[in-house]
Amino acid sequence: MASGGGLSPNRAGQRCAPASSLGVSDIDWDAPWLADWRAVGEPIARQVAAGVPQPEALNAAGRAPVCFVPQADLPEGQAYEDFIFATGQVPTREGLHDFFNALCWMQFPLAKKRLNQLQASEIARAGVGQVRGPVRDAATVFDENALLIQPSNALWAALTEHRWQDALLGLRHEWAHTRLWVFGHAALEKLVQPYKSITVHLWRVPQTVAPADIDTWLAQDLSPDKLATKPFSPLPVLGVPGWWSANAAPAFYDDAEVFRPRRVRAQVKKPYANADIVPSA
């Protein structure tokens, strides 16, 4: 998680900083990316906007496997993820970032619990250092920024190869029946005040997984080995057809600063690949 106050994100007790100063009253619940969140989130947001402390309003919903507590309950020097694992309590600040994090605990309880177990296990194994290991790093990226997608093989290939015109224009008809779930709470926070370059990390869900089984499937799919490979693919999220009115114009996707081509790593040839240079015997 990104840290607050300019401190390292890996120091014990540090949390990711909110992306903005907006509050729950600024959420547009008609936004298409909130379709799966509205039924639970909007009533809680109304309570918070009316002055109910955020942890209290979240707990009153009774939909999470954890308890939300004020940020001050996190002991000085204890890692946030380790505290959650040890106590079943989630330190929660006022504001959008922790609000959406809590909604994710309600929407994806098994997956969130799995991510916390992975983080706590890595902290127990390696401690909280200045640099996260690959599993903690990937788990954090997923937690903050993942978008789950159930695409066809053709659409997935176009997305992962950054063939944006193919994926978002040529295969535009497929998006009407391609299921999407915004998982990352930092991404949801940014989308309260949308801008074109907001980019999420795609995580593919097989089309055989029923919507009702997504949380169970995801909790099993989030393995240390898979996370360590960082099997993400970026997507400028406002390019999703139907999610932003401006993308109805094909020229929307011509912005190479946002819809960037895939970078190809240059292969480094060994010196003796030159016919005039041979390795010593």
| Interval 98-155: pLDDT, tens | 999 999 999 999 999 999 999 999 998 877 665 578 999 999 999 999 999 999 999 9
User: How are beta strands 67-70 and 89-92 bridged, if at all?
Assistant: parallel
Burial of residue 27 (CB within 10 Å: 0-12, 13-18, 19+) is buried
What are the pLDDT digits (tens) for 234-249?
999 999 999 999 999 9
pLDDT of the residue at 19: 56
Mean pLDDT by 10 residues, the chain (281 residues): 30 49 95 97 98 98 97 95 97 98 98 97 78 87 98 98 98 97 98 98 98 97 96 98 97 97 68 49 45
With beta carbons less than 8 A apart as the criterion, state whether 18 and 96 touch: yes
Distance, in Å, from the CA atom of 169 to the CA atom of 167, rounded to the nearest integer, reads: 6
Which neighbouring-strand residues pair with 204?
149
Q: What global pTM score does this model have?
A: 0.86
